[in-house]
Amino acid sequence: MRKDLYNAYPIYDWKTEDIWTAVGKFGLKYNKIYDLIYITGRSIHEARICQPYGDDQRKGLDLFRKIEPDTWFKVVERVAGANFGNIYRGLKILGNGKVVKPDQYTWKEYANFLLNTIPKYQAHVYQERIEQFLMWWEVEEKWSREDVPDATPDKSDPRWNAPDGSKRRKLPSWERIAKCVLKNDLNCKTLSFGSVVGGYPRLLRLKEQYGE
């Protein structure tokens, strides 16, 4: 085996600073939109160019308005709620940061209230995944759904850590479920779900069943 042979995997090994250092040092070509993003005050770690409607990408909706006003006009004309997302991105109203609820509701009541205010096909997806979420905790962690706390448990709760001391999934709570709906997190990443193969065709079937 040769000892003077090394493998490098820039996509995996390089930090953001490494990438931009290489661009500057070697004069590499790059998308000039990054310059406009930087001018708006975004750091190199926040600069991102991609479609705007993912869970993470929606945080940058205001960039369209600032750097591509003509495109932004088309987005607002075509996509319902785009400007709402631009105005309230990062705020509590969309489930970011410390979320509060009306005093008259428990978190469970508030979650159910939210589910009753959204289109049926979306509520169907949430309800199905919430059931899977509660079932997982029942089967895998022996945590009865009747024992799921209303508010998020304090991190001092010993169940935050597995018996071997390793970090485990966040504890279940109706506050966590309500926050998932507030964030319009249809993939339920807030509940530790990931995207699944066949998800989009399934969404089309739901739209056909429940209408637009």
Category of 136 on φ-ψ map: left (φ > 0), alpha (ψ -120 to 50) or beta: alpha
| 45/37 Cα distance (integer angstroms) | 11
Q: Is the pTM of this model over 0.85?
A: no
pLDDT score at 182: 86
Please check whether residue 176 is in contact with residue 152, taking contact to mean a CB–CB distance below 8 angstroms: yes
| 125/44 Cα distance (integer angstroms) | 36
Residue pLDDT, tens place only, 60-112: 777 888 888 888 888 888 877 777 777 777 666 665 667 788 899 999 999 99
Say what the alpha-carbon torsion angle 7, 10, 15, 17 is, to the nearest 10 degrees.
110
Tell me which residue of 102, 30, 38, 81 sits closest to 186, measured CA to CA: 81
Residue pLDDT, tens place only, 121-141: 889 989 999 999 999 988 888
Beta carbons within 8 Å of 65's beta carbon, 6+ residues apart: 72, 86
Q: Is the pLDDT of residue 158 over 80?
A: no
